[in-house]
A and B are shown apart, each in its own frame.
Chain A
């Protein structure tokens, strides 16, 4: 099963209430995925020359301040940090690759959940309701957000195996379905230098997009290639810094519904997740076509 949901604001009207609008969407998909949940929220963008990382450590009482100080000394740059439950968001006045290198040297147990200028990924094992509450989802602000409730089929129930998966700077993916060629594809991608944290099939889809984007594909071309190279069932929702995409496989047995108003585009596995949105009664509601992707981008 699994449930996927996304809310992309077309203007800034609801930016202050993004989390509040999104929380019931995520929780309504609990029946489709009760074992873990997560979301990627976009907003609070850092400026030119800065990178924003979402980090997590296996130790719940990890001393983030110490890491931040050491990182600042090692890189010789300014760092701002903010803790949310057992995750921190670091804003570092350097580029992504330097930050990653320095972090790996300081503590290889630190897991980078996302990197970019806008994205923050928060995910956890447990009921969506508890996870939303843990990270104070309803109080969050931003321009767009995508989320996932997981019913594990292809790999273990772990935080690492939950979605969203990061697919490159400011990019992430959530997946409902199962891929049949993920083992072979993982081997190919490993040879191309893509690294994987889990045995999860969806992480292979994320890794595939990372690889295509590294090869110079635009998001649109990467998605066209994904339609050819990924075998199995999938509905994907993908977040980018300025945009949001939804794609279905040719069989289209994994459900998806889209709704659009002047203020937002919303996607969900089932219509139930959209009923609490403002103006949904008059929204354009439709089912995306198979073997097709839809992209919205802020200009």
Chain B
């Protein structure tokens, strides 16, 4: 196990060492101490390694992640796991805004709450939030799944494409073209799988499903009022 203390080394040094694992994995388990809210910790990873960050991280933590398994034992700032491609990012605390923005694959688990615009423009990632999410979440979400065990803020799924959204709690309001849909057996199975993968103990039958009404795909003047 390799420990990198950010009180003694820079984030740039840490990321350089982690990037070198792509060519030659010298150490599979990494521990980062004293993150102290620094930005860009463990970004651009592309190796089957695990990174445990002990403390709170700043913006864009674990952004662009590929195959790595990153756990933050604390809160994260804006844009955690932004544009993740694969692998797992787990936040034990809360996440700020735009968690998992534009992410294309992998699994993002937030054990606390997530702020506004969680999963904005997501393109294939699965996001599981044990707490609640803020307003404008999943705005223009294109593909993947968003599971929320708490409540969702205003304008959930505004201008949504094909993301599957499951919410256990209340939804303050739905965005343009986002509607509640039936939970069919395949959705219960999908949700069960996502909850298991995320290690979250919830009953899939307690959730409601939301998705796109598919009226905004192409502009039609009849839909103008919905924009």
Interface residues of A (CB under 8 A from B): 252-253, 255, 270-275, 285-287, 289-290
Contact = CB atoms under 8 A, between A and B. Distances in A.
B28 interface: no
A255 B36 contact: no
A285 B56 contact: yes
B97 interface: yes
B67 interface: no
B96 A255 contact: yes
B38 to A, nearest CB: 7
Given A270-B58, A271-B58, A255 B116 contact: no
B38 A255 contact: no
Contacts of A289: 134
Contacts of B78: 255
B56 A271 contact: yes
Most A CB contacts (10 A, CB to CB) among B36, B38, B94 go to: B36
Most B CB contacts (10 A, CB to CB) among A253, A271, A285, A290 go to: A271
Interface in B82-99: 94, 96-97
B209 interface: no
B37 to A, nearest CB: 4
Nearest to B115: A287
Contacts of B94: 285-287
B96 A287 contact: yes
Interface in B46-84: 56, 58-59, 75, 77-78
A11 B97 CA distance: 33
18 contacts: A252-B116, A252-B134, A252-B135, A255-B78, A255-B97, A270-B37, A271-B37, A271-B58, A271-B77, A272-B38, A272-B58, A275-B36, A285-B75, A285-B94, A286-B94, A287-B94, A287-B96, A290-B116
Interface residues of B, number: 16
A290 B56 CA distance: 22
Nearest to A268: B37
Contact of B134 (A271, A285, A290): A290
A270 B36 CA distance: 11
B116 A272 contact: no
Nearest to B117: A253
A159 to B, nearest CB: 30
Contacts of A286: 94
Given A285-B94, A287-B94, A290-B134, 6 more contacts: A252-B97, A252-B115, A252-B134, A253-B116, A270-B77, A286-B94
B116 to A, nearest CB: 6
A274 B59 CA distance: 15
A287 B132 CA distance: 13
A272 B36 contact: yes
Contacts of B135: 252, 290
B121 to A, nearest CB: 15
Nearest to B96: A287
Contacts of A271: 37, 56, 58, 75, 77
Given A271-B77, A274-B37, A287-B115, A253 B97 contact: yes
A278 to B, nearest CB: 15
Contacts of A273: 37
Contacts of A252: 97, 115-116, 134-135
B97 to A, nearest CB: 7
